[in-house]
Amino acid sequence: MRVRVDLSRPVVIGFAAILCLLIVLPMSWLVYFSVTDRSGALTLGNFRQLVTDPVFVAPLITTAIIATTSSLACCLIAAPMGWLVARTDMPLRRTVRALVTASFVTPPFLGAIAWELLAAPNSGLLNQAFRALTGAPQDEHLLDIYSLPGLIFVISCYTFPYVFVLVANSLDRIPGELEDASSILGGSAWVTARRVTIPLALPALLAGALVAFLQAMTLFGSPAILAIPAGFHTMTTKIWSLFQYPPKPELAAAASLPLLVLTVLLLRAEHVILGRRGYSVVGGKQGDPRLVRLGRVKWVALGAAFIVLLNPVFLPYFALLNAAFSRVASQLVSFGNFTLHNIHFVFFELSSTRLVLKNTLVLGVLSATIGTLIAVVIGYLTARKAIAGHRALGFLATAPVAVPGIVLGVGLFLSYTRPPFVLYGTLWILLIAFVTIAMPAAYQQLQSAYRAVHPDLEDACRILGGTRLQALGHITAPLLRASVIATWCFIFVGVIRELSAAIMLFTSETKVISVLIFDLNESGDLGAISVLGIIMLVVTFAVVILANRIPTFGGRIRLRDA
Amino acid sequence: MKNWSRRDVLKGASALGLAALGRPIEAAAPPAQAVTPALIEAARKEGKMVWYTAVDLPVAERVARSFEAKYPGVACRVERSGAERVFQRIGQEYASRIHAVDVVNSSDAAHFIAWKRDGLLAPYVSEDVARHYPAEHKDPDGQFATFRAWLCVIGYNTNLVKAADAPRSFADLLDPRWTGRIVKAHPGYSGTIMTATFQIARDLGWGYFEKLAKQRVMQVQSSADPPKKLALGERAIMADGNEYNMFQLKEKGDPVEIVYPIEGTPLIIGPNGVFKDAPNPNAARLFQSYCFTPECQQLIVDVGGLRSVHPLAKEKPGRRPFAGIKKMKDDPAGVERDAEAIKARYTQLFRV
């Protein structure tokens, strides 16, 4: 005798409520604040000030320039690199991919600080080397990182992996037969590339361009570190500055909305472009991609790839390592100035180190666990269309992708500093932010993992008398294990490097490592930053390597930027 | 006695200003509180306290560690940021009823006027403050006292600028040869710079900043940062920054030199106070009391490069004696009144 209890309605309602709390509530407060004045009366004054006051118009234009040029630069670098790695016989292709992953997981704000060490006009290591080599006078410099081009360069360094991953993955999937057909019909290598390969990869490239545009537009750390010394703002730094004393939350909310709207529009565009991709990848068995033989050029190509990778990986890591052990951050380590002082300072003098590491780890583990759990359930419900309302759940889980970190930070701050939910000052508010930020990628990854497990397998279990839960436990769960662990790791890594939402939400008791590094940068404590940055990178790489050891890992994962 | 006369007049004036704001000055400050075994025991029970401070991080941590060494079992966590950020942070936290701060130190003395007016501070007078501190350096109601004093100076990198060519005044900084070679901190972050900007604008006029803004300065945040940028060799000149960081770097052998501008050097006062709703009230009082001991005051002078107003603290040889330097007048009440306008005007001029 079995009592059938229909749990589907409470489940849908429960998870929909969670997702609403994560995303609908903060965005509603954001919109409410943007259209009201201090007294709570409706007004469009905030928006009027936004479009007429030069204090806001200039950052808007700067942001547009940065996003456009970074996106272009990323495509110009990442597309050929993706092609080299996916479709040619260039040596060390796996290593190059791994190094791009390294730049992928390097927090952009840490990269920006490292580039200060490298290319500050006078003290930067590269400029010093330039003067030493050319005998140029003291005040001449090759590079100035505190400039619009400098900022665009640093942003591109940590944004191009998004384009690279999309392009390389798409090239991986293009069947070799299509190119073979072109060759058989007499097409030269160039004609094949122009008529077959490039058109097939173009949607991915365009999607990459959009993602890069969004990343560059919504980044907070790098502009705060490089633009403000140079005397200009971007939209994100401007929004953040509106929370300095005296805070102007209504203007911050109004300034956040254009970012939000633009993100939604661009993501729609991406969807339209990627939606067309279906025609290219023919189902059934396909030949391995045909590798283009580069001959001797392959060494040139490899050299070029490594020169590119100097910028996001080798040079910055070197600069951080050097600054960690040098008495003066702008001097190369030598017998004369080698010091362990910075390490001693961070571990034995800096009283917030322990608290901050603890907060970061607790938040990383909790966000990853909770985020993965929610994604597992919602992914299952939507992939199996298990209950009515699954579509709405899927939409809610994907929606946060349209919310830039700093905008989410503003929204959460407005939502949770007042009744009925006062969460400001607790780790909960940060947990909500991090889970929300991670949700779209986690959900997409797990949903596609569910799709890969054919329902027939579960049905077989049901037919043999198993319950739905038994089917899940004995069949689906073991098959999904690897994806779940990979998702967990990626949320964890994303949390560790998150800055833009955390900077709006932290209090002294709930500081995380990214915020501490940002604080230290404002008082110029470069040695301590380097030590903390290296700790951060070591933890991140440990987790990434762990994730990479798990088979079947490697879906399309989008890490959010700090 | 030291020559405090100018400030005497001023502090008197600001005290009168407070009275005029409608807050009656109580008949007498609360009596001095000795550090009793009971207080130490109660502090140990709490086990910890948090010091929100604007003093440069390594100095703050040294003070915290020396306190912990003296009172084992009471951990002091330093929460450091620029004074304007600390002020905003406390305001934001208190608005959400988060009472995390135990003791506060600001480089913008105006903040204590605001905190006192809002009734956030607890009266607590340590024995040192009661017995030794000059009247102009303690609140008549016993809610705060001057933990540290220092100057906001001009500086240069001696590898990049010859002593003979170095600027000697604020006016010299406007010389075209310094264009693109100056680093400067921000009054929206740093209380030191807020205070200095007020004094310079008052004495020299905003025209000075209008011209300085055209010098393509490198805009950093903390007043502790320009000295560090000089030491790195990143910029040749600093338009403003902490005298105490310059002392530290110079005495470590870094190529930096201090300039006390001939127009007068902005004087910065950094008081310490205990919050009424401090989560660790006993540890807070123990720490507040420790901060004003000759031991701690000598530490911030010797290691930190700061100036002490404790008569028993001795100046470190080799540094220009404090009394002999021509200073601009400090005026916390004026800063309190003008802070918002100063930030707005500064942002307009320097664009960030």
Does position A546 have pLDDT exceeding 90, yes or no? no
Of B83 and B15, the one with more pLDDT: B83
**Lowest-pLDDT choice from A267-276, A483-492, B242-251, B301-310:** A267-276
pLDDT at A288: 67
Q: What is the pLDDT of residues B124-165, one digit of tens each?
A: 999 999 999 999 999 999 999 999 999 999 999 999 999 999
> C-alpha distances in angstroms, B63 versus B56, B66, B144, B299?
11, 5, 18, 8
pLDDT confidence tier of residue A551, bands split at 50, 70 and 90: low
pLDDT digits over A209-231, tens only?
998 999 999 999 999 999 999 99
| % of chain A with per-residue pLDDT over 70 | 93
Residue A429 sits at φ, ψ, to 5 deg, of -65, -35
Give B27 or B19, the one with higher predicted confidence.
B27
Question: What residues of chain B lie within 8 A of the CB of A122, using their CB?
Answer: 160, 232-236
Tens-place pLDDT, residues B286-296: 999 999 999 99
**Interval A46-86: pLDDT, tens:** 999 988 888 889 999 999 999 999 999 999 999 999 999 99
Q: Which residues lie closer than 8 Å to A148 by C-beta, 6 or more apart?
A: A62, A65, A66, A227, A230, A232
For the cut 60, the answer to whether the pLDDT of residue A560 exceeds it is no
- pLDDT score, position B1: 39
Mean predicted confidence (pLDDT) in A92-100: 93
| pLDDT beyond 70 at B19 | no
Q: How far apart are CA B227 and CA B246, in angstroms?
A: 6
Query: Same topology for domains A8-43+352-562 and A53-280+295-300, yes or no?
Result: yes
Q: How many CB pairs under 8 A join A and B?
A: 133
CA dihedral B165, B170, B176, B178 (to 10 degrees): 60
pLDDT tens sequence across B260-287? 999 999 999 999 999 999 999 999 999 9
Residue pair B54/B111 in contact (Cβ under 8 Å)? The answer is: no
* Per-residue pLDDT, B17: 42
DSSP state of A454: -
Question: With helix as H, strand as E and coil as C, how does A187-230 read?
Answer: CCHHHHHHHHHHHHHHHHHHHHHHHHHHHHHHCCHHHHHHHHHH
Cα B267 from Cα B290, distance rounded (Å): 24
Residue B51: the pLDDT is 98
Q: What are the tokens at A517?
A: 């590094």
For residue B258, the one-letter residue type is I
**Residue A315 pLDDT > 60, yes or no?**
yes
Q: Tell me: cis bond preceding B279? Omega within 30 of 0 counts.
A: no
Helix ranges (DSSP H) in B236-291? 243-252, 281-291
* The pLDDT of residue B26: 45
| Nearest residue in chain A measured CA to CA from B62 | A349
Place domain B151-266+336-350 in its CATH homologous superfamily: Periplasmic binding protein-like II (3.40.190.10)
* All structural domains of chain A with their residue ranges: 8-43+352-562, 53-280+295-300
Domain borders along chain B are 5-149+268-319, 151-266+336-350
Find the largest Cα–Cα distance for chain A. Answer: 91
Residue of A nearest to B81 (CA): A519
Least confident of A158-167, A271-280, A343-352: A271-280
Asked whether residue B13 carries a pLDDT value surpassing 70, the answer given is: no
- Quote the tokens at residue A184: 């058989």
Contact (CB, 8 A) for A64 and A118 = no
- Judge whether residue A1 has pLDDT over 50: no
Name the pLDDT band for A390 (thresholds 50, 70, 90). confident
What does pTM read for this prediction? Answer: 0.92
User: What would the pLDDT profile of B187-198 be if each residue is shown by its tens digit?
Assistant: 999 999 999 999
Query: A452: pLDDT confidence band, cut at 50, 70 and 90?
Result: confident
Instruction: State the number of CA atoms in the 13 A half-sphere of A166 facing the CB.
Output: 26
- Please tell me the distance from the alpha carbon of residue B297 to that of residue B307, in angstroms, as a whole number: 8
A247: contact with B, CB 8 A cutoff? yes
B56: nearest CA in chain A? A523
Residue of chain B with shortest Cα separation from A424: B96
Task: Report the C-alpha gap between B325 and A12 in whole angstroms.
Answer: 73
* B116, B64 Cβ separation under 8 angstroms: no
CATH 3.20.20.80 fits A53-280+295-300, yes or no: no
Chain B contact for A229 (CB, 8 A cutoff): yes
pLDDT on residue A387? 76
Which of B58, B189, B220 lies closest to A229 in CB terms? B220
Does residue A112 carry a pLDDT above 90?
A: yes
Nearest to B219 among A120, A229, A519 (CB): A229
Say yes or no: A335 contacts chain B, CB-CB below 8 A.
no
Q: Residue A323: pLDDT above 60?
A: yes
Q: What is the pLDDT of residues A248-275, one digit of tens each?
A: 889 999 999 988 998 888 888 877 876 6
Helix (H) or strand (E) run with residue B338 in it: helix B332-350
Which class is domain A8-43+352-562? mainly alpha
Architecture of the domain defined by B5-149+268-319: 3-Layer(aba) Sandwich (3.40)
Q: What would the pLDDT profile of A274-292 be if each residue is shown by its tens digit?
A: 665 544 444 445 566 678 8
Which residues have CB under 8 Å from B23's CB, separation 6+? B116, B117
Per-residue model confidence (pLDDT) at position B10:
44
Q: A interface mutation test: which of B66, B184, B221 has the most A CBs within 10 A?
A: B221
Residues of A in contact with B50 (CB under 8 A): 508
pLDDT for residue A188: 85
Q: Which residue has the tokens 């003008």?
A: B338
Mean pLDDT rounded to a whole number for chain A = 88
Partner residue opposite A522 with nearest CB, options B50, B160, B222: B222
Confidence check: pLDDT of B116 > 60: yes
Q: Could you check whether the bond before residue A246 is cis, i.e. omega within 30 degrees of 0?
A: yes
A261, with CB counted inside 10 A (0-12, 13-18, 19+), is exposed
